[in-house]
Homo-oligomer: A and B are copies of this chain.
Amino acid sequence: MTEMTTPLSPRELDLMNAYWRAANYLSVGQIYLMDNPLLKEPLSKEHIKPRLLGHWGTTPGLNFLYVHLNRIIRNRDLDIIYIAGPGHGGPALVANVWLEGTYSEYYPDVSFDEAGMKRLFRQFSFPGGIPSHVAPATPGSIHEGGELGYALSHAYGAVFDNPDLVAACVIGDGEAETGPLATAWHSNKFLNPKRDGAVLPVLHLNGYKIANPTVLARISHEELEQLMIGYGYKPYFVEGDDPATMHQMMAATMDRCFDEIAEIQRRARVDGVTERPMWPMIVFRSPKGWTGPKVVDGKPAEGSWRSHQVPFSTVRDNPEHMALLETWLKSYRAEELFTADGVLLPELQELAPRGKKRMGDIPHANGGLLLKELRMPDFREYGIDVPKPGSVEAEAPKPMARFLRDIMKMNEKAANFRVFGPDETASNRLGELFEETDRTWMAGMLPTDDHLSRDGRVMEILSEHTCQGWLEGYLLTGRHGFFSCYEAFIHIIDSMFNQHAKWLKVTGAEIPWRRPIASLNYFLTSHVWRQDHNGFSHQDPGFIDHVVNKKSSVIRVYLPPDANSLLSVTNHCLRSRNYINVIVAGKQPAWQWLDMESAVRHCTSGIGIWEWASNDANEGEPDVVMACAGDVPTLETLAAVKILRKLAPELKIRVVNVVDLMTLQPKEEHPHGLADRDFDDMFTTDKPIIFAYHGYPWLIHRLTYRRTNHHNLHVRGYKEEGTTTTPFDMVVMNELDRFHLVADVANRVESLRPQAAYIKQYVRDRLIEHKEYITKYGEDMPEVRDWRWED
């Protein structure tokens, strides 16, 4: 417990409380008023918004913390970023950013005077105005807090490699119930006080969610204390409802916490202590809707879940509510806070930090401002030698791992690149990274540990949520990153992806002052086709489908067919800005098709005819187009081509490979979309297309349904068939294998009609042989295992 010291002089206490009143006043104003901001006239119907939206409950607490953090910044000259987990309390952050002057600098229309205050009120949750959350439009925010659970992982991500930054992270007791938040506490096992900044978590217990009490507010003090200690923190409790007492307690507690943070950092940076410290954290228990009306319509409001959103509505037509609102607003005594022109009194202005120290103006919250180009070697140098297509085998991620390793090295000094993953870096064949760096680890170490260190730059925790949250925080504060994950389990962060994609869409389209940040790069491997050993639960290629629902301005999907194309794509993604790039490629040894220059050309186009695999050159149109996207479908397509060459040598086959899935969409729908004319040239307007696709087949239909030749398109892909079996059996179970592809051609090419029966019998025989072989021997038949493109 905090000792009851009183660090604030009476005058300082008065001023801070006045500043808090000002913020609360502005918050209530935003929720209710569209005019008469200083209450110069008696409140009346036309001053009240017709739709009352917003979350009051959490707001006074957020305001309270803001004024106290301002004090810390001024007294200690610190850089602090404010992460508002309860982002619904948007009015609080907007109010404070306006009070410190930042808001009017970003939005000159919302000036620092009465006219600006009126706009400030009116725009909140108003058509054409601003959202109700700490959305991208709010200066100082990197965390919208619309969907709950990610405040703490964002905070940690923000301070990694930012030794001089402190993230003050407010966690609502509702959010604290979510899984992602519950495990994010353990991020302290990955934070090195020497090279990283600090996170000060503030667990804000106001006791209620929308309609329920919260778990952490209703366990005993002892349990809560032990929980926090168990998570590795030293908890300080600030609890109560009397503002004066609470100000003194909070000031004393914050002083103590920042002293401890400074001391932890000093010990690590000066004394060379490497042990994980117990970081301080604050449990802040204050009434929900603090300073709001105590009772509304005869029911308790302050301190109850009834204060969660707007404590009372129907103000326009309810004189009692109107009077209640006026009393409430007047309780803040705005006339003692603002000049008649609506300008905050100078002595109150003094309480806010200056310039870039203001939490609304801290550059880390507009990470693009701080973004340095990643120094990168020429990716071509990492390419593997492919003298002829299909002449060598390789594990595609390995050259990429060397490329990433050297990027790591070249940016060691800038310390602005990390690789994230849920315990799969080595498994995903990125082990060569460990020649240059280690896994970050601040928990206990043993002599037998492998590539663990306090200074590692590979972040591994068995929580996709935490990896994603860290990475988002890292990118949003102006750094670079790379996330590798098993394909099936990336669905765990579907919803986090949504939120980040929405953030990027809004910033790119509507907020010019937000500078572009590095793209979020996913490398999805251990993909559906090579989860033959892990079985059905590990087989799901649907993340691509999820991704392409988001705005085409922010999403990109790549399916490089081999190692050199994976390198080229990776290089491109790491240089891009404001996108979410999804790269899907296998990690198993596989045939290589493209030499480096061909790979670069192919990836630059995103789609192309593979002449060397086709036999329709100089012959006008082919009889059939065999298209493929993804490494395994590419292999099966080429194997099918080879069978067809033997069975029907006269058949003219064109092989098209797709790296950039978005080329399939019309140009009008995605900037990478192929023009219709080019699409028609490539896919013909009337020949059968047999498309072997990595994921769920209908996605290809959805991308191409407007194309001329769509009615001739036949797609094979994953259709939720799978188990623990052999790799080839996986494709057979889903009818994506070479034999089914051959049958598809025989079924669809008119000129093959005379041979069709024979070809289909051949296919049936091979498939029976396959099943018999695997059942007997437990591995794929030699014809498949030993297959080569060139005999």
Residues of A within 8 A of B (CB): 34, 49-51, 53, 125-133, 135, 144, 146-149, 174-175, 177-186, 189, 209-215, 218-220, 223-232, 300, 304-305, 423-427, 439, 441, 443-446, 448-450, 452, 460-466, 488-489, 491-492, 494-495, 498-499, 502, 505-506, 533-538, 540, 542, 545-546, 549-551, 696, 698-699, 701-702, 705, 710, 720, 723-726, 729, 774-775, 777-779
Contacts and interface: CB of A to CB of B under 8 A. Distances in A.
Contacts of A550: 720
Contact of A132 (B147, B535, B696): B535
A502 B537 contact: yes
Given A146-B534, A491-B494, 20 more contacts: A49-B778, A51-B778, A53-B533, A125-B533, A125-B724, A126-B778, A127-B774, A133-B535, A135-B537, A146-B537, A179-B179, A179-B182, A179-B184, A186-B215, A211-B425, A212-B452, A227-B227, A227-B230, A488-B498, A701-B702
Given A128-B775, A228-B230, A462 B53 contact: no
Nearest to A305: B450
Contact of A50 (B131, B181, B777): B777
A174 B179 CA distance: 15
A461 B226 contact: no
Contacts of A181: 179, 183
Contacts of A133: 534-535, 537
Contact of A499 (B127, B214, B537): B537
B502 A147 contact: no
Contacts of A537: 131, 133, 135, 144, 146-147, 499, 502
B696 A549 contact: yes
A305 to B, nearest CB: 8
B495 A489 contact: yes
B211 A189 contact: no
Q: Identify the interface centre among A126, A774, A779: most chain B CB within 10 Å of its CB.
A: A126
A143 B507 CA distance: 42
Contacts of A180: 179
A720 B545 contact: no
Given A506-B536, A546-B545, A546-B546, A189 B219 contact: yes
12 contacts: A51-B779, A53-B533, A130-B724, A131-B723, A132-B724, A135-B536, A178-B463, A186-B215, A213-B443, A223-B232, A227-B231, A498-B540
A49 B776 CA distance: 11
A223 B276 CA distance: 12
Contact of A443 (B34, B179, B215, B729): B215
In the complex, the count of this chain's copies comes to 2
A790 B701 CA distance: 41
Most B Cβ at <10 Å: residue of A144, A214, A498, A725: A498
A20 to B, nearest CB: 26
Contacts of A778: 34, 49-51, 126-127
Given A51-B779, A189-B219, A449-B213, A129 B179 contact: no
Nearest to A458: B212
Contacts of A189: 215, 218-219
A578 to B, nearest CB: 15
Nearest to A536: B502
B498 A209 contact: no
A720 B505 contact: yes
Contacts of A425: 211
A312 to B, nearest CB: 16
Contact of A131 (B126, B225, B536): B536
A226 B222 CA distance: 10
A373 B599 CA distance: 60
Contact of A551 (B148, B232, B498, B720): B720
Contacts of A546: 494, 542, 545-546
A696 B552 CA distance: 13
A14 to B, nearest CB: 33
A229 B232 contact: no
B498 A179 contact: no
Contacts of A211: 423-427, 450, 460
A503 to B, nearest CB: 8
A218 B444 contact: yes
B724 A129 contact: yes
Contact of A423 (B130, B210, B450, B465): B210
A495 B502 contact: no
Nearest to A148: B462
Given A226-B229, A720-B551, A444 B491 contact: no
A748 to B, nearest CB: 15
A581 to B, nearest CB: 18
A696 B550 CA distance: 9
Given A132-B534, A182-B183, A723-B131, A304 B448 contact: yes
Contacts of A549: 542, 545, 696, 720
Given A51-B779, A227-B231, A448 B131 contact: no
Nearest to A309: B533
Nearest to A540: B498
Contacts of A726: 51, 127
